[in-house]
Structure 1
Amino acid sequence: MSDVRSLDRRILAALQVDGRASWAKIAGVLGEPERTVARRGADLIGSGLVRVRALPNPRKIGRTEQFVLKASCSPGTAGIAAAALARRTDSLFTYLLTGSADCAAEISVPASKVAELTVREIGTIPGITSAATYPVLTHYRTMHQWDPEILNEEEKTQLGGAAYSSAPTDLGGSDALGKEDRILVQALMQDGRASYENLGRASGLSVQTVQRRIERMRQDGTLYLRAVFEPALVGLPVEALLWVRVPFPHLESVASLVLESSAVRYAAALAGDFQLVVDTVFESRSALYDYLRNSDWIARTQSLEPALVLEALKRSGTLAAHFGDSQGF
């Protein structure tokens, strides 16, 4: 059983590098029989434990800006409020938390809608008693760039290496997508492993053209293909969101140290009373405790507020399996 579990984790790690890699390619890189990898991979996807989905770059699709919301709720209503946030088509992640805030979410809205979001919409969500909305100034790491360090460097290189994880996140000045590209992105949001043949039929393009366009969009940062799964599946069941205060002159140096750890899945600079938010995962609470005690970057901050993630209702624009799917742009 331990060998099977280890193989599942390696398959997940391969999909994290390239969610569209064929089972044959993954099997070759991992040194496992193709039939075994195809069966285990299909079982993981079929069970809903892992879903490969495209997340379009919100700064290109719709010209939106991102905000991280930190909300407190009246007793007994946190689940209701978090569910309402998760079901918003413009939310990218939604977590239930411990600590001073009950839930957090990243929301992507057009600049013209920011006042409506912060002044009117958030206040109408049932259960929320207070909320702070922090503009995201830049992303230091997004989920598609996270490397759980399950595969070695040679294996990651064979799967594509940094070709996709290094894609830019800020594309605000780029041209809008044409009709065919939008069709491709929409189809990949529903199934990131959809065949090129099916994508060609949906878009009216040839298979070769579909391949070229998807590859271009992935490498230029128009869309990110992500294997969406709970970190517990790769042995990291403890997740904590860190709210950090750090002087802006030191922010870049602190961020560079933050990114040295594979425990960091996501990090973004914020405007507000917290200047940095960091999403981290660990094998145990003891490992989290050691990280908080021993990380060099923490000594350079003014304060740090860790909050455990009790439940992720949405990740990478994909609702948790028990909510079903609701995507679009």
Structure 2
Amino acid sequence: MDLDHTDLAIVRELQTDGRLTYETLAQRVGLSRPATRMRVQRLLDSGAVRVVAIVHPAVRGLTATAHLAIGTRGEAAPVAREIAAMPQAPFVTLTGGQRPVMAELRTAGFSELDRAIERIRSLPGVRSVDPLITTRHLKDPYLLTDEPAVDHLDDVDEKILDELERDGRLPFAELAERAGLSAGATRARTLRLLEGGVAKVVALVRPDVLGIGFLCGFAVRLQGPTDDVAARLASWERVSYLSTCIGRAELVGTISAGSLGSVLATLEEMRACAEVREVESWLHLELVKERYDLGAAHS
């Protein structure tokens, strides 16, 4: 799908706040409200952009996260599809690297995480599974890294979240009808949930749509303390995701860039850091799955 500068501006605004009103969005991109609405609908209909609510994992009881590097015997795609069918796996890719499949798992505690990893190890075609266990999320375009400020959710709150996970731009009037409340009460509850960090409504976009068609994963082994170098890497624009972890490395992350040259330059800058002992990297070649509406599977 070919996007012009105005389309790209709309996408970037929705990545920051997927529930921006058409009036506000129109003002920011310099279009009329009807023209803006038409462009947004075209983006959604194309499948290149999805606007959804991403609920904080802690709210869903998903307290354990791991990144898996998976070696295969024979073709990797069937293995990736099997893992993508697991409700605990929100993110699965085929890669160019030593391990051809990378996956993220989110589970309700480490016992469930261990069972999910063992299930992957038992899949036909899986040769090896090397997990990195996340200890702290430092940067994520989708994940809310701070703990939610809302302590208690009732059944109506859960219904609102479920509906927004399916369609993040659902109008308040329609959301109210589904939740069984007035439009005003629904709006108040929704804003409480969003402002309290329970969920974030964002646009999920195919990387090639934004001209950042190269995604490179990396794992960094450090010498000395982690915090300073982790904060430095998280501040880099091309580093779109970063977590501390336990396993073969202390940091795991993603570089998003418009060219292989930019990916290489970022990796070289990373290797030049005095605290960095080793950088392992891989290119994400095909996004097999990216879904974060995992609450129903764990409720």
Q: TM-score, normalised by structure 1?
A: 0.83
Corresponding residue number in structure 1 for 2:190 = 214
What is aligned with 1:275? 250
Quick check: 1:292–1:298 contact (8 Å CA) kept in 2? no
Mapping of 1:27-46 within 5 angstroms?
A: 27-46=26-45
Distance 1:143 1:126 in 2: 33
Structure 2 CA distance for partners of 1:49 and 1:207, relative to 1, 3 Å: same
**How big is the shift at 1:193?**
0.7
Is 1:7 paired with 2:12?
no
The unaligned stretches of length 5 or more in structure 2 are none
Q: 1:231 aligns with which of 177, 199, 207?
A: 207
Task: Structure 1: give runs of 5+ residues left out of the alignment.
Answer: 146-166, 320-325
Separation of aligned partners in 1, 2:162 and 2:274? 44
Alignment length, in residue pairs?
A: 297
Q: Counterpart in 2 of 1:304?
A: 279
Distance 1:123 1:192 in 2: 35
Q: Is the 8 A contact 1:239 1:282 kept in 2?
A: yes
- Residue 12 of structure 1 aligns to a residue in which SS? helix
Cα distance, 1:311 vs structure 2: 0.8
Kept after mapping to 1: 8 A contact 2:88/2:116: no
Q: Confirm whether residue 201 of structure 1 aligns to residue 199 of structure 2.
A: no
Cα distance in 2 for residues equivalent to 1:168 and 1:287: 27
Q: Secondary structure at the match of 1:242?
A: strand
Q: Do the aligned partners of 2:150 and 2:198 also contact (CA within 8 Å) in 1?
A: no
In structure 2, which of residues 208, 215, 219 is the aligned counterpart of residue 243 of structure 1? 219
Q: Quick one: distance in 1 between partners of 2:24 and 2:91? A: 31
CA shift in 2, pair 1:208/1:328, >3 Å: farther
Cα-to-partner distance string for 1:130-183 (whole Å, 9 max, x where unaligned): 0022221010011227xxxxxxxxxxxxxxxxxxxxx54445x97452111111
CA distance in 1 between counterparts of 2:150 and 2:121 reads 34
Is the partner of 1:250 in helix, strand or coil? coil
Cα 1:22/1:328, change in 2 over 3 Å: farther
Structure 1 residues 128, 327: CA separation in 2 closer, same or farther (over 3 Å shift)? farther
Q: Residue 282 of structure 1: CA displacement?
A: 0.8
Partner of 2:112: 113
What amino acid is aligned across from residue 192 of structure 1 in structure 2? G
Q: Answer whether contact 2:270 2:276 (CA < 8 A) is retained.
A: no
Secondary structure at 1:302 match in 2: strand
> 1:91 is paired with a residue of what secondary structure?
coil
In the aligned structure 1, how far is the partner of 2:100 from the partner of 2:293?
Answer: 20
The structure-2 alpha-carbon separation of the partners of 1:328 and 1:186, relative to structure 1 and needing over 3 Å to count, comes to: farther
Q: CA deviation at 1:307?
A: 0.4
Q: 1:169 to 1:94 in 2, by over 3 A?
A: farther
1:155 corresponds to which residue? Answer: none
